[in-house]
């Protein structure tokens, strides 16, 4: 699966789909609010359906907006009904450490056939337990782990070894990606998927030395054809934004 785009911006998703780089999309209430989704669950539903249709059959993760167990169940069923490729995000525990969310995760996966992405985890032990509960995806916030003074790679490697050893089907998603370096090192450490914001994906692709090399190629090609480099046709997408 490799890379999921962490955004609610349809234009950005379309851009990277055209490049063949998107294997899924993840969102959360913070991302959707930042990307202009206001109006609660109805507004989230409208944006989610549009994204799900755009990326199908790749998965789209949408998070519940409550920590109350009964409401998590209700919202999860609602979210799952929006499209066949929906995945419901549920936090590993409540805001004060309440354990009920993981009980709901187990119920959703084993009784209702709803795929769940357990999120907001900071350690291999949390993610291992979420995988034991039946979660389809277990999300570690690698950037925040690093900010706490630990190396997320160690947690990812330990977790992947545990999942493989005990035959657990949960796939490791590592998010909270802060640097281009994180993507490859986390995949190398054992993550199945790393989530990236559009700006970071652009940073992975565009390299200053590549730009310099392309410019040199174009200068030399222009010279060999007896024209100035600035005479080359300018495509609309190359024009500076106004």
Which residues, 6 or more positions from 112, have their beta carbon under 8 angstroms from its beta carbon?
A: 76, 77, 80
Phi and psi, residue 236, nearest 5°: -55, -40
Which residues, 6 or more positions from 46, have their beta carbon under 8 angstroms from its beta carbon?
A: none
- 25-78 pLDDT, tens digit per residue, is 999 889 999 999 998 889 999 999 999 999 999 999 999 999 999 999 999 999
Segment 83-109 mean pLDDT: 98
Catalytic residue check, 53: no
Residue 97, judged by CB atoms within 10 A of its CB (0-12, 13-18, 19+), counts as exposed
Q: How many CB atoms lie within 10 A of CB 208?
A: 7
Residue 101: is its pLDDT beyond 50?
Answer: yes
* Bridge partners for 63 per DSSP: 89
- 217-237 pLDDT, tens digit per residue, is 999 999 898 887 665 555 555
Give the pLDDT confidence score for residue 226 in this predicted structure: 84
Of 120 and 1, which is predicted with more confidence?
Answer: 120
d(CA 55, CA 64): 20
Segment 150-170 mean pLDDT: 97
Give the pLDDT confidence score for residue 1 in this predicted structure: 72
Residue 241: is its pLDDT beyond 50?
Answer: no
- Active-site residue, selected from the candidate residues 53, 89, 158, 211: 89
Residue pair 23/62 in contact (Cβ under 8 Å)? The answer is: no
Taken in order of first residue, the domains within the chain and their CATH numbers are 2-205 (3.20.20.70), 208-238 (no CATH)
Confidence band of 242 (pLDDT split at 50, 70, 90): very low
């Amino acid at each position: 699966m490799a890379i999921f785009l962490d955004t609610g911006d349809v234009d950005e998703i379309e851009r990277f789909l055209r490049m063949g780089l998107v294997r899924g999309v993840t969102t959360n209430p913070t991302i959707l609010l930042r990307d202009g989704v206001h109006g609660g669950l109805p507004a989230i539903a409208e944006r989610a359906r549009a994204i799900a249709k755009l990326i199908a059959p790749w998965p789209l993760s949408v998070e519940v907006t409550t920590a109350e167990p009964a409401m998590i169940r209700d919202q999860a069923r609602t979210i799952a009904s929006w499209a066949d490729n929906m995945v419901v995000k549920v936090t590993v525990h409540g805001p004060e450490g309440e354990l009920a969310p993981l009980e709901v995760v187990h119920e959703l996966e084993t009784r209702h056939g709803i795929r769940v992405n357990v999120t907001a985890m900071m350690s291999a032990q949390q993610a291992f337990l979420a995988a034991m509960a039946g979660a389809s995806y277990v999300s570690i916030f690698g950037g925040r782990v690093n900010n706490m003074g630990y190396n997320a790679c160690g947690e990812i490697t330990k977790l992947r070894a545990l999942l493989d050893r005990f035959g657990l089907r949960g796939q490791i998603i590592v998010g909270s990606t802060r640097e281009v370096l994180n993507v490859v090192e986390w995949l190398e450490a054992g993550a199945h998927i790393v989530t990236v914001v559009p700006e970071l994906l652009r940073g992975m692709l565009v390299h200053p030395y590549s730009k310099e090399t392309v410019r040199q190629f174009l200068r030399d090609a222009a010279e060999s054809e007896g024209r100035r480099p600035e005479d080359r046709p300018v495509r609309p997408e190359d024009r500076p934004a106004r």
